[in-house]
Structure 1
Amino acid sequence: MIKKRKVNTQSKANYSTNKLFNFSKMDLDKVYKELNTEVNGLSKEEVEKRAEIYGLNELAHEKPSPWYIQLLKAFINPFILVLIALAIVSLITDVILVSPAEKNFTTVAVITIMVTLSGLLQFFQEFKSGKAAQQLKALVKTTAAICRKESGVKEINMADIVPGDIVYLAAGDMIPADVRIISSKDLFISQSSLTGESEPVEKYSTLKNDTKDLTVTDLDNICLLGTNIISGSATAVVIATGNNTYLGSMALTLVGTKTQTSFEKGVNSVSALLIKFMLIMVPVVFLINGITKGDWLEALIFAISIAVGLTPEMLPMIVTTNLAKGAVVMAKHKTVVKKLDAIQNFGAMDVLCTDKTGTLTCDKIVVERHLNIHGEEDLRVLRHGYLNSFYQTGLRNLMDVAILEHGVTNGFDKLEKDYIKVDEIPFDFSRRRMSVVLKNHEGKRQLITKGAVEEMLESCSYAEYKGNVVELTDKIKTKVLNMVEKLNNDGMRVIAVAQKNNIPDENNFSVKDENDMVLMGYIGFLDPPKDSAAAAIKALHNNGVAVKILTGDNDSVTKKICSEVGLEVSNVVLGTELDDMSDEKLSSLVDTTNVFAKLSPLQKSRIIKILQDKGHTVGYMGDGINDAAALRQSDVGISVDTAVDIAKESADIILLEKSLMVLEEGVIEGRKIFGNIIKYIKMTASSNLGNVFSVLVASAFLPFLPMLPIHLLLQNLFYDISQISIPWDTMDKEYLRKPKKWNADDIGRFMIFIGPISSIFDITTFLVMWFVFKANAPEMQSLFQSGWFIEGLLSQTLVVHMIRTKKIPFVQSRATTPVLLLTSLIMIAGICIPFTAFGASVGLQALPLSYFPWLVGILLSYCIVTQFVKIWYIKKFNSWL
């Protein structure tokens, strides 16, 4: 039985790498012996044993928390914890420490209702979101053709593969594990997801290159999990599965706690601010009422109610509802949200870092130029390139596909009947060219070769120059290289085309025949920009989002593409330059540089970290394994549904189409969500602060409590209910033009300037109730409290419309129907409560009709003053929401 060596997480990567090197050097007989397997595969019994030892062939990923842990976490946030503490204190003072006849569960019940509603709604939304993400991941199923003794070759789920399995591979297959090749035919592998290199590499059954400088991806006879077959076929034996693979060792390093995002930092800073303010004000209220009224227990209960009033207890519910609604809206824009918090970060994002390929470009190479040595368009060059690509049977890369497509548009598809292929000399990455030998109906033979310019110049002795075949001199070589450099600067990849007519009359040709050739010209290729790229970049720019390209591609091609889509390239920094650059130096140029080329995965993460340290909210979009670290480092990681598993695991948001236009829609939606969240915080914090000031003034001078604890709690609960509709409100267009970030200082300033306005009119109400309606003695406190209850609730509710926009409410900007309807219902309910039996049961009483003209005047004056203060505030601080 094969033995499994135990290794810890830190040594996992080294162990995996050493294991691969060892297997690459073994002959096949020793490989079979080491893995205890055979050419026809493992038996069913052996498969079951190994499945128990190694588990499923899956990479490490962050498992979702059990539902009960998610439920517990939903109730663990600063606001809910404060309310739970207050409920416990209220339970002690209102229930445990009093006689049976005086027991009062009302305060405890109201606080418990608030906590339960807030926590449960957050739990349900987070739970639903997590399930949706799991369902998305479950859609991606990968199988592999495995040979086993009893069943023969059969497609099975990739997760069921074990070490020692014999796997059959063909073009288009994913490599299902780390494997050692047994046999192969023209096998070319794309390792771009591991290395970032777009060029495929050829793999063999033997180790052809055994130098000390080899990396794991350089091993000729080893294929790694996470790579895929471009062309050819192979049979291989599985060396390692799951977390024991090379890719698995990388995955283990990525599983863990993600960097705290700007959203989380913002919520924490706001929470800290409000809790600090509560800790200051509540003892003051307690002392004033205890000293002036003499009843310290009643003063404590009243102070608890004030604490509840100062706590925006519905914030978790409002935030979650906003984010959940945003997730639904973004789904309609072909965007799946894995983590709700990420939606707000989308709106706060002011820098988007993204790769070039597939975002700015179509990820599809096309023939842009086909030139002779003089730089003139020449169909003969394209014709010979077409014949070479058409008749080759090895790897057809994207350039071959482009040549064939372009050749068909020029009618070259009819050439097939004029030629017969004699032989071919396959492409390899050491000589970087390939050749075919063709014969026409007259028996004339021709060798046609295409490949990298430098290597082609070494094989050519002649050139077609000024209509003649002449010797390829240094002067002509210089002319050729200058032309190629010009094409490279235009963003093109270039290959050379050559031919030779004087070839032997035989059927077998080799590399030695690629000499004394005639250079004809070159073909230039371009990965063109998407039609929507320029418009999308302009839209992001207009919305205050800077786009930075972080790519592994070369700088010339990247600069050209950027210029075509309107992305001005002020400076380009290469990965080699970053290696010797200090963080201080990088920080000084990261804002003014928008293109970073030839980067490694760690360099991408480093750039994002530097941007974050400078106060930016950074998004990153990527879909490869080499993007996973950058996705985790960013404030909002964005990937696509076709991405590799690690990229999707690391991302917060998954796009169903890789387009920048989708990102712009997400940015706008994120800003709407942030605007509605900040509305609630500023509305609630400022109005509650105003109430506390009013309570302080009233407590200092009144011979009775200005409002009973239950009145404060009811008023707060009614107000919170009116706020539930905020997620369905709109934002002014002007607000959506720039990124929005949390600013605890701004919220504190807003509270201080806007909150006390309501206190002015609360005190006016006190004076009216005291002098006009003679509610100036303890026996008249119910009338006083009822008058303030209605005025306080209505002013708090009306301020929703005053604060939700920097414009004139109802005239220049009107709330949505849900907001209008719910705030109206709450105001009607507030007016009616003192006239009901429920109102009487909580100490309220009916008010005389003469009270209401005073109420209308006070509320109208409050709205007018608030509007004037708003105008002054915006002019003074250049901000509102």
Structure 2
Amino acid sequence: MIDMESTKENEEELNQGIDLEKAPVPEVLQTLAVDPKVGLSQLEAAQRLEKYGPNALTEKVQSFWSKLMHHFMGPIAYMIEAAALVSAIIGHWDDFIIILALLLFNVTIEMIQDRKANSALTALKQGLAPEATVLRDGEFSSIPASELVPGDIVKIRLGMIVPADMRLVEGDYVSIDQAALTGESLPVTKGVGAEAYSGSVVKQGEMLGVVTATGSQTFFGRTAKLVANAGVQSHAQKAMFQIGNFLIVVAVILATIMVAFRVYRDIFVTGGWGMTEALNILQFVLVLLVASIPVAMPTVFSITLALGAIELSKEKAIVSKLAAIEEMAGVDILCSDKTGTLTKNELSLDEPILIKAHDAQECIIAGALASKLENKDAIDLTIISAVKDPEKLKAWTLDKFIPFDPITKRTEGRLHNAQGDQLWVSKGAPQVIVELVHPPKAEADKIMKLVDDLANKGYRALGVAESKDEGKTWEYLGVLPMFDPPRDDSAATIKAAQANGVSVKMITGDDTAIAIETARQLGMGTNILNASEFFPKDMDPDHVPAKLAEVIERADGFARVFPEHKYAIVKVLQKRGHIVAMTGDGVNDAPALKQADCGVAVADATDAARGAADLILTAPGLSVIETAIKEARQIFERITSYTVYRVALTITIMFLVVLSSIIFNFQPLTAIMIVIMSLLDDIPIMAIAYDNTSVSPRPIRWKMAKILSVSTILGFFAVIQSVALLYMGHHALIQPDAFSWLHVTSFGQLQTIMFLQLVAGGHLLLFITRQSKWFFEKPYPSSILFWSIMATQVVAILMCYFGWLVPAISITTIVVVWGYNLIWMFVLGFVRIASEKYLDNRTKRQRKHVEMVNEKLK
């Protein structure tokens, strides 16, 4: 977490209540107590460095051991640890080793994922300038940027990274690329009085600036603070906590009942109580604890998601956080950056609007002659590339070039050709070119109306003029409309997302008019809000007022946004019950990317954006998002199928252990049997990642009430199935003539029968839970899942027949148990369909009732 409190008070003291970002430059210099011709003294700079701290992002580092201990916490982890402790107390070291190995395996997977958590902040730190040219004691020198302090006079020039937030105090102009910070698609030309943000890049010009903020108080630092504080627990993590809590409650209740019954029987019925009886009870508690733990659930979740990540990588999408795949399945709002994501981030020249020019090329050539290729300016390059015959440019020799600056707001070129003809050309802001040409009022009004119309359509307009008498008289040739065009696949991607129930909101640093026109062209809503006007300046992005939140939810998009705006928008939507995906490519997107349920860094994103994102696209555009949504929904279906199966099976085992103890005074399974059974049941289930599933047309979420209800109902009937078989086997031992077809001759064999019934029945239960229809209907199980299960069943049969780790039983008994399970498969299939139908109908009735009540209240 960024440590800002210590410097914040010092900054406020230095500012003396003055807004250094907006106050006049002389007032800023006076407040900071610095002469722009001399700079700070070395002594004063050292004192300020001591007082305000280094110009760097500081971080509170959590120790490795603290992080490690965190992974041993949580419902499922506590259950596994309790089982390991009990097994150690009673000396069951084989159980202890297996249980501990599973716990360490789960922790290792979580630690590997956790290593990526702070990469966004690391990338942000790397984005800071390493050195700065500073004026101290009247002389310029180069120092580490981390030693800058508020009040330092710093020189910035072409190619430099701005080392701190500053106000420009001297020089003609600088053109600064701050797209990574603000999302603006073009470099911004700035003059005296303007702000320059730390981390932005100087593209043209040279100026002096006075440092107004350093380290964590800069625009860059505030972004880093948002990144450090951003993040949300995944819905899969919440689901596992809920499942763990549910199973803990059930296990505690059953353990209490079982212990109370055993103590009562030992004391009041058999009349004896001692260490032997206590250890026997503890052993039963151990079996119950092991039975209650879905030990492989975190692993199955991780591996299933990992296999999904491999599939997405084939579509040029790299998953950096596995939980993001599951989150994508429930995404109902996609907040998309505009520049470079929905658009090409390439200026495109539309058909020129002619005033005096005879044709479009005449106007374009004049604009190109008023440009300079070496400057690598995006606007200049666009105009020059639009010239159809480059030889016409070579016919003129440039005598003098006057670059753009924020005062004149135009460029000018003075040229001559081989015949000695003189030509002066200029391009710039249309109103400035009007002032240069001085056309008749009617013509001037016509030009300005054209410009207004272009602005309303989201175009950037440039006026072009020429003079053939050394600038004495000028002609207005025309207006060049420029636009960052949408990507070819953006409209189709948005349409596909909307068809899948996902609303798309545009979020951009560009002007509102540009955002609206882009949205119109892409078939999106055009209710675009200007965030810089809409959000209060001092608003806490973590606590947005309710009325503001309502407007955010209804809006189709936002323009003129800053990092805290993007972050606040995502957080507001999450608080209002939405699952949000966010796309972006710049430093300004990093906080929102990390806060989103699924942050998506698009192709060519900055390291900070990639570090904060959960999903990184390596191909341009968003077309892979549609694939990711479909893949995520299939994976989600597989995970929920597994969850229903695993909870139902866990409930079955727990109730079987307790009921057997109470009714028959018999332990139906050993702890090692339960662990082996869990492995035999869950290892092939990992192939569920390849299973054939239907794709939901709408976003899907964890409906824990429904999942746990269906699981409990299925578990209840599966308990009847298992207890009935146990009863028959137990009765066959007491009365050999009863149920003789089971061929059971010892309690050890009865334990093996229950072991086989649960291993086989568990996998048959998965075929029931993998879809809401009958198990024999399409989509059929994938071949890899089916044959993985079959292979496991062969292993289980061989174990039971040859007596590997369990007492051996006959092939006849094995066939009987399998036939018994197959009959119950149809019973449980009917129970699954009936229970889901009942729960869905009840939900619909409740929803209709709520709607009726709300309607009456209106």
TM-score range normalised by the length of the shorter chain: 0.7 to 0.9
- How many Å separate the matches in 1 of 2:58 and 2:478? 51
Instruction: Report how far residue 850 of structure 1 moved.
Output: 3.9
RMSD: 4.5
Gaps of 5+ in 1: 1-5, 38-45, 96-103, 210-217, 463-470, 505-512
- How many Å separate the matches in 2 of 1:585 and 1:181? 38
Write the deviation string for residues 667-691 of structure 1: whole angstroms up to 9, x where unpaired. 3444444444333322111112123
Counterpart of 2:529? 573
Counterpart of 2:463? 496
Instruction: Report how far residue 109 of structure 1 moved.
Output: 4.3
Q: Matched residue pairs, number?
A: 803
- How many Å separate the matches in 2 of 1:405 and 1:165? 42
Change (3 A) 1:127 1:289: same
Instruction: Report how far residue 424 of structure 1 moved.
Output: 4.3
Change (3 A) 1:781 1:396: closer
Counterpart of 1:449? 426
Q: How does 1:290-305 map to 2 (within 5 A)?
A: 290-291=263-264, 297=278, 298-305=280-287
Counterpart of 1:111? 99
Write the deviation string for residues 501-526 of structure 1: whole angstroms up to 9, x where unpaired. 4446xxxxxxxx7xx74333211112
Does structure 1 residue 268 correspond to structure 2 residue 235? no
Q: Answer with 266-275 or 816-825: which moved more.
A: 816-825
Gaps of 5+ in 2: 22-27, 271-276, 739-743, 842-858
Write the deviation string for residues 692-731 of structure 1: whole angstroms up to 9, x where unpaired. 34445544543x31514x2x55134322343134344224
Change (3 A) 1:810 1:786: same
SS in 2 for 1:363: coil
Counterpart of 2:850? none
Write the deviation string for residues 68-114 of structure 1: whole angstroms up to 9, x where unpaired. 4444333222112122123324444x24xxxxxxxx54544443343
Is the Cα–Cα contact under 8 Å of residues 672 and 730 in structure 1 kept in the other structure?
no
Change (3 A) 1:246 1:362: closer
- How many Å separate the matches in 2 of 1:333 and 1:193? 26
SS in 2 for 1:8: helix
SS in 1 for 2:485: coil
Counterpart of 2:703? 743
- How many Å separate the matches in 1 of 2:236 and 2:358? 56
Counterpart of 2:681? 722
SS in 1 for 2:39: helix
Write the deviation string for residues 103-131 of structure 1: whole angstroms up to 9, x where unpaired. x54544443343334334444x4367579
Q: How does 1:238-257 map to 2 (within 5 A)?
A: 247-248=220-221, 250-252=223-225, 254-256=227-229
Counterpart of 2:741? none
Change (3 A) 1:173 1:90: same
Is the Cα–Cα contact under 8 Å of residues 425 and 435 in structure 1 kept in the other structure?
yes
Q: Answer with 164-173 or 295-304: which moved more.
A: 164-173
Does structure 1 residue 73 correspond to structure 2 residue 70? yes
Q: Answer with 292-301 or 537-546: which moved more.
A: 292-301
Counterpart of 1:755? 715
Change (3 A) 1:874 1:677: same
SS in 2 for 1:805: coil
Change (3 A) 1:224 1:766: closer
- How many Å separate the matches in 2 of 1:16 and 1:863? 76
Instruction: Report how far residue 58 of structure 1 moved.
Output: 5.0
Is the Cα–Cα contact under 8 Å of residues 351 and 545 in structure 1 kept in the other structure?
yes
Counterpart of 2:759? 793
Of 165, 175, 196, the residue aligned with 1:188 is: 175
Does structure 1 residue 414 correspond to structure 2 residue 422? no
Counterpart of 1:859? 821
SS in 1 for 2:461: strand
Change (3 A) 1:766 1:260: closer
Instruction: Report how far residue 615 of structure 1 moved.
Output: 1.4
Counterpart of 2:404? 427
Does structure 1 residue 321 correspond to structure 2 residue 281? no
SS in 2 for 1:852: helix
SS in 2 for 1:544: coil
Is the Cα–Cα contact under 8 Å of residues 692 and 781 in structure 2 kept in the other structure?
no
Of 592, 614, 639, the residue aligned with 1:677 is: 639
Residue identity opposite 1:399 in structure 2: I
Residue identity opposite 2:324 in structure 1: A
Change (3 A) 1:800 1:493: same
Q: How does 1:629-648 map to 2 (within 5 A)?
A: 629-640=591-602, 642-644=604-606, 646-648=608-610
Change (3 A) 1:736 1:623: same
Of 323, 335, 339, the residue aligned with 1:341 is: 323
Counterpart of 1:359? 341
SS in 1 for 2:386: helix
Change (3 A) 1:377 1:798: farther
Change (3 A) 1:261 1:456: farther
Of 448, 466, 485, the residue aligned with 2:452 is: 485
Instruction: Report how far residue 491 of structure 1 moved.
Output: 3.2
Instruction: Report how far residue 623 of structure 1 moved.
Output: 3.0
- How many Å separate the matches in 1 of 2:818 and 2:357? 83
Change (3 A) 1:374 1:803: farther
Instruction: Report how far residue 368 of structure 1 moved.
Output: 0.8
Instruction: Report how far residue 363 of structure 1 moved.
Output: 0.2
Write the deviation string for residues 37-71 of structure 1: whole angstroms up to 9, x where unpaired. 9xxxxxxxx9xx999999997534575x5554444
Instruction: Report how far residue 328 of structure 1 moved.
Output: 4.6
Counterpart of 1:404? 384
SS in 1 for 2:510: coil
Instruction: Report how far residue 271 of structure 1 moved.
Output: 2.7
- How many Å separate the matches in 1 of 2:704 and 2:167? 57
Change (3 A) 1:378 1:848: closer
Is the Cα–Cα contact under 8 Å of residues 422 and 437 in structure 1 kept in the other structure?
yes
Change (3 A) 1:718 1:698: closer
> Kindly, what percent of the aligned residue pairs are identical?
25
Write the deviation string for residues 813-848 of structure 1: whole angstroms up to 9, x where unpaired. 454565445433443343344555664xxxx64334
Counterpart of 2:162? 175
Does structure 1 residue 31 correspond to structure 2 residue 39? yes
Q: Answer with 372-381 or 606-615: which moved more.
A: 372-381
- How many Å separate the matches in 2 of 1:276 and 1:22? 66
Counterpart of 2:846? none
Change (3 A) 1:736 1:584: same
Instruction: Report how far residue 361 of structure 1 moved.
Output: 0.3
SS in 1 for 2:558: strand
Q: Answer with 845-854 or 291-300: which moved more.
A: 291-300
Q: Answer with 239-248 or 621-630: which moved more.
A: 239-248
SS in 2 for 1:496: strand
Is the Cα–Cα contact under 8 Å of residues 177 and 203 in structure 2 kept in the other structure?
yes
Is the Cα–Cα contact under 8 Å of residues 623 and 643 in structure 1 kept in the other structure?
yes
Counterpart of 1:42? none
What TM-score do the two structures reach when normalised by structure 2?
Answer: 0.80
Instruction: Report how far residue 544 of structure 1 moved.
Output: 3.2
Write the deviation string for residues 649-676 of structure 1: whole angstroms up to 9, x where unpaired. 5444444445212333443444444444
SS in 2 for 1:427: coil
Is the Cα–Cα contact under 8 Å of residues 496 and 519 in structure 1 kept in the other structure?
yes
Residue identity opposite 1:538 in structure 2: K
Is the Cα–Cα contact under 8 Å of residues 190 and 406 in structure 2 kept in the other structure?
no
- How many Å separate the matches in 2 of 1:165 and 1:440? 49
Of 458, 461, 475, the residue aligned with 1:518 is: 475
What TM-score do the two structures reach when normalised by structure 1?
Answer: 0.78
Write the deviation string for residues 331-372 of structure 1: whole angstroms up to 9, x where unpaired. 454444444433432333221102111111000001112012
SS in 2 for 1:255: helix
Counterpart of 1:553? 510
Instruction: Report how far residue 849 of structure 1 moved.
Output: 4.3
Residue identity opposite 1:86 in structure 2: A
Residue identity opposite 1:484 in structure 2: V
SS in 1 for 2:466: strand
Write the deviation string for residues 428-468 of structure 1: whole angstroms up to 9, x where unpaired. 22442233333445555444332223333344322xxxxxx
Is the Cα–Cα contact under 8 Å of residues 676 and 726 in structure 1 kept in the other structure?
no
- How many Å separate the matches in 1 of 2:235 and 2:359? 54
- How many Å separate the matches in 2 of 1:338 and 1:782? 48
